[in-house]
Copies of this chain bind each other. A is one copy, B any other.
Amino acid sequence: MPVSDLSHAAQDYLKLIWNATEWSSTPITVSVMAERLGVRPSTASDGIKKLAKQGLVTHAPYGSIELTAEGREHAVAMVRRHRLLETFLVQVLGYGWDEVHDEAEILEHAVSDFLIARIDDHLGHPTRDPHGDPIPSADGKPHLPQGILLSDAGPESEVVITRISDDDPEMLRYFTELGLAPDVRLTVRERRPYTDVTTIRRQGSDHDADLGPVAAAAIWVVAG
């Protein structure tokens, strides 16, 4: 069964479960899902039960939520759609990287596999979206995200940004002002333990910038 046969809701549920485990190993819970999806916990609980009945997730009452192989396939297909659409909107239609997430969140349910293939061709088979997230390939190949949170990077380390969470458009605009984006190189100058401020300097910049804990936890980096 193709992913497009699932309801919009089911598509979003699966994608969310998958996303939750991409950059973090803490398992997803019903209440977190409800909050992310903007529905009540009872709704999310119900939805998960239905997915379990369809064999797309495993879940016993009060138990953990895990994708089955089939559920994961569909989830990856949705992630691919989402990220290709974001990339297309930025590269072809001149969207800002802070404007694409909500649009893609809707479009991902409406596009055909044919259209996704055309977009992929037109873009030359990109491997990362505007926020640095890896784009799964058409065959659903596992892709290997890497990097650690900037807030976990040691002081005086030289790092390259690999990924910035697209959860909060406001924050993305702030990062634009600071010149922070995927592939930007920076030096972690200092981490003040109690105030939890991370001081960084962008390569080529002549001054430091301070990031609060929320901002520093939205940026992933690799040593570089």
Contacts and interface: CB of A to CB of B under 8 A. Distances in A.
Contacts of A82: none
Copies in the complex: 2
B92 A115 contact: no
A107 B114 CA distance: 13
A110 B115 contact: no
Contacts of A89: 115
A119 B107 contact: no
Interface string A68-93: 00000000000000000000010011
Interface string A99-135: 1000100110111101100110010000000000000
A95 interface: yes
A103 B107 CA distance: 12
A94 interface: yes
19 contacts: A89-B115, A92-B92, A93-B115, A93-B118, A93-B119, A93-B122, A94-B118, A95-B118, A99-B114, A103-B112, A103-B114, A103-B115, A106-B110, A106-B112, A107-B107, A107-B110, A107-B111, A109-B110, A110-B110
A201 to B, nearest CB: 36
10 nearest A-B residue pairs (beta carbon): A110-B110, A93-B118, A106-B110, A107-B110, A103-B112, A93-B122, A103-B115, A94-B118, A109-B110, A93-B119
A149 to B, nearest CB: 32
Contacts of A122: 92-94
Contacts of A93: 115, 118-119, 122
A223 B201 CA distance: 69
Contacts of A95: 118
A30 B112 CA distance: 30
A96 to B, nearest CB: 11
Contacts of A107: 107, 110-111
Nearest to A108: B110
Nearest to A102: B112
Contacts of A119: 93
